[in-house]
Amino acid sequence: MNQNEHDRLKRLLQDALPPIETDPEPNRDLWPEMLRKLDERPAAVPWFDWALLGGLVGMAAFFPASIPLLLYYL
């Protein structure tokens, strides 16, 4: 694609999808909904915490002798 074709497509696209010049305001205040969402959704536990927990449970299941050692470090 040469520069002329690029420019023509760009103009066509800007005609079809007019650029949004300035940041528009949302139609409503979003903070109350944000607060509701904060109340509803507890922070997710990171995946590596779950992986660590799974590893510890697996270790305790396959090597029961390690349980006193794990308890010692808790």
Q: Find the binder of another protein among 2, 17, 64, 72 (CB under 8 A).
A: 17
Whether 56 contacts 70, CB under 8 Å: yes
Cα distance between residue 11 and residue 19, in whole Å? 11
45 scored as a contact of another protein (CB under 8 A) = no
Of 40-48, 49-57, 58-66, the segment contacting another protein by CB under 8 A is: 40-48
52 scored as a contact of another protein (CB under 8 A) = no
Which residue's entry shows tokens 């808790």?
A: 74
CB atoms within 10 A of CB 52: 11
Q: Footprint of another protein on this chain (CB under 8 A)?
A: 1, 5-6, 8-20, 22-28, 30-31, 33-34, 37-38, 41, 43-44
